[in-house]
Amino acid sequence: MSVRVVVGAQWGDEGKGKIIDILSKDVDYVVRYQGGNNAGHTVVKKSGEFVLHLIPSGIFHPKVRCVIGNGVVVDPEALIYEIESLQLKGFSVKGRLFISERAHVIFPYHRIYDRLREDKKGFIKIGTTGRGIGPSYSDKALRSGIRVIDLMNKDIFAEKLQRAILEKNEIFKKIYKFNGFSFDKVFRDYQFFAKKMKPYVCDTAVMLNEAIRDHYDILFEGAQGTHLDVDHGTYPFVTSSYVTSGGAAVGTGVPPTALETVVGVVKAYTTRVGEGPFPTEFDADLMERIRKKGKEFGATTGRPRRCGWFDAVLARYSVMVNGIQEIAVTKLDVLDDLETIKICTGYRMDGKITKNFPACTRALFTAKPIYEEHSGWKSDTTQVKRYQDLPVNARKYLKRLSQLLSVPITILSVGSHENQTLWMRRAK
């Protein structure tokens, strides 16, 4: 039996979809434990490219059971669309997809509130996806959310929805001058969604704990990245959930003592989407060059990603708070053409040098990165099949990343296809 957690160790978009898809071949369950359809995991198969937002990336393997845990906020309309899109492409989820009855539900008023608040003068602009994720988690924390289990009971759902819409409409009208929502329409729409979702709904905490008892192999799939975690990220420029490996226990009902291995995923450089500090961000020319070659556009929103040099300070903090034991490095090939490659090993802040990632977000805006410079390899790596066949300077670069993070690199991706993957030491 193996119980592993795969987490992003930067600001998300590290290529977790591909890594999870590959690791899923050898497991029985793949479990998503946080976030919502603000996530976008891209998986490239022989039959095409797929972008998943809610359904775990193990769905392409017919023997794998995929679980959406209680820590996820579920937009039923988006979920049903994703299920039907997969079915049209020949991937059935019947009998293989399970949704926690304790997961909270996203409603139209959450999406509208997300956008209204982001546009409201006086509020910090975070750069959210506008999918209603934050407002849904807010309702959860305020104990006024509606869960999947509530959606399955018509009377309970009607009672809770009436209270929710009454409250939200007051806020919309008085603060945002927005007319609000009709109870009848939302109720009718979500009764339809409930009927579609019902075959997949169960107590997934019981299912997963029984699977652990029976020695099944389980892979927990994180969305976003560590530095978007609501506690450990660059707050307030973060998502609204617990992205770190500890969130796997909270978001599924599996005890933390059951989690055996944590695999961290990093790009060979760094990216982030939206607002917030980014000490190692490229200049405009290099940004455009790397963005174009790396196809750095958000899988969920299509927004261009900001790109920068590898930040070992940021990644080392991720290793610490997640307990990362193995690293998967993606997109090494994007750096193939560069003469010189930099690695940030520390920050200069207020005249002092620090190698620890600071909690003060404002300080990060003015932090000056301290760089090591490494010679590039100026050679195509996309067709390399063995680590020893990589250019010497590429191996030196990877070795230095591993040294700085004090963690072995076990998986290397040199392209988007699953065949463009090198195993230095197979993750257990």
The predicted structure's pLDDT at residue 194: 98
The SS3 assignment for 323 reads coil
- The closest of 34, 35, 31, 28 to 2, measured between CA atoms, is 28
What does the alpha-carbon distance between residue 389 and residue 210 come to, in Å, rounded to a whole number? 44
The predicted structure's pLDDT at residue 276: 94
Is the distance from CB of 158 to CB of 168 less than 8 angstroms?
Answer: no
The predicted structure's pLDDT at residue 427: 43
What is the tens place of the pLDDT at every residue in 63-105? 999 999 999 999 999 999 999 999 998 899 999 999 999 999 9
Paired residues of 43 in beta bridges: 50
The SS3 assignment for 64 reads coil
Sign of the dihedral defined by the CA atoms of residues 278, 281, 283, 286, in that order: negative
Q: Looking at the annotation, which residues are catalytic?
A: 13, 41
The predicted structure's pLDDT at residue 294: 94
The predicted structure's pLDDT at residue 307: 97
- Give whole-number Cα distances, 82 to 55, 97, 133, in Å: 8, 12, 17
Positions of the chain with pLDDT under 70: 47, 120-127, 299-301, 425-428
Biggest CA–CA distance in the chain, Å, is 66
- Give whole-number Cα distances, 310 to 11, 86, 102, 231, 315, in Å: 12, 35, 38, 22, 8
Copy the structure tokens of residue 275: 């607002």
Copy the structure tokens of residue 338: 């560069």
Helices marked H in 198-226: 204-213
